Amino acid sequence: MDSRIAHIRRKLAKVPYAALRSHSFGEEKHGFRLEPPLPVARIAEFEAEYRIELPVSYRSFLTTLGGSGASPFYGLMPLRACRLFTMDAQGELGRPRGFTFAAGPAHRGDLFLHIIEAGCTDLVLLGITGPLTGRVVTGNSDGFWGPDVSSATDFLAWYERWLDHMLDGRDNRALELTSPALRAPVDRLLREKARPAAP
């Protein structure tokens, strides 16, 4: 088993109780909880259905830590809800390339698995084939921005970076983290609005 799994498990257990941690956008939805790990047979069924092979670090996460739940944004999606995308290779000159659903098993181009719910048309994807296999890529299905490739070498490194930045109370726009220092003025305004008006 990858030694990072134990580190991630410990860090994830600390996050909800860390006094000066960053706020992670969407954390209210998953509450830093993971659903039970997936059986290897369930992953094998998914791979056979889509004729793909999941990257090793993502597979390790799913089978040892959790099948869905805590992650940046609104949370790691259950495997049954994940869909394959390809990166648009067509388009007008100067138009940003977006992502589109992969068309059946006879897909063309490199494949990316939509693994995290980020909201609207934003996508957090994992490279399944091609030069970005195993890397986390963010983008937009409308082609308005991205694709942005994380510098983390694989899913476990990317996930652990999220936990480290949160525990360190850091800002990270790519992971939608807000440090306590930046959040303080907003929290103060919310508290003031919540107070009942003086008689």
Domain 4-194 has CATH 2.60.40: no
Query: What pLDDT is attached to residue 8?
Result: 98
DSSP 47-92: HHHHT----HHHHHHHHHT-SSB-SSTT-BPPGGG--EEEE-----
pLDDT in tens, 29-80: 999 999 999 999 999 999 999 899 999 999 999 999 999 999 999 999 999 9
Least confident of 8-12, 61-65, 83-87: 83-87
Cβ proximity of 74 and 29 under 8 Å:
yes
Name the percent of the chain lying above pLDDT 90.
Answer: 58
Q: How far apart are CA 172 and CA 27, in angstroms?
A: 15
Query: What pLDDT is attached to residue 184?
Result: 63
SS3 call for 137 = strand
Q: How far apart are CA 38 and CA 48, in angstroms?
A: 16
Query: What pLDDT is attached to residue 181?
Result: 80
**Sheet (strand 148-149) strand order:** 99-101, 84-87, 111-117, 122-127, 136-140, 148-149
The residues with which 117 forms a beta bridge, in sequence order, are: 123
Query: What pLDDT is attached to residue 95?
Result: 40
93 has a pLDDT exceeding 70: no
- Which structure tokens are listed for 47? 């791979």
Q: How many CA atoms lie within 13 A of 139 on its CB side?
A: 25
Report pTM. 0.84
Domain residue limits, the chain: 4-194
User: Mean pLDDT score of the chain, rounded to an integer?
Assistant: 85
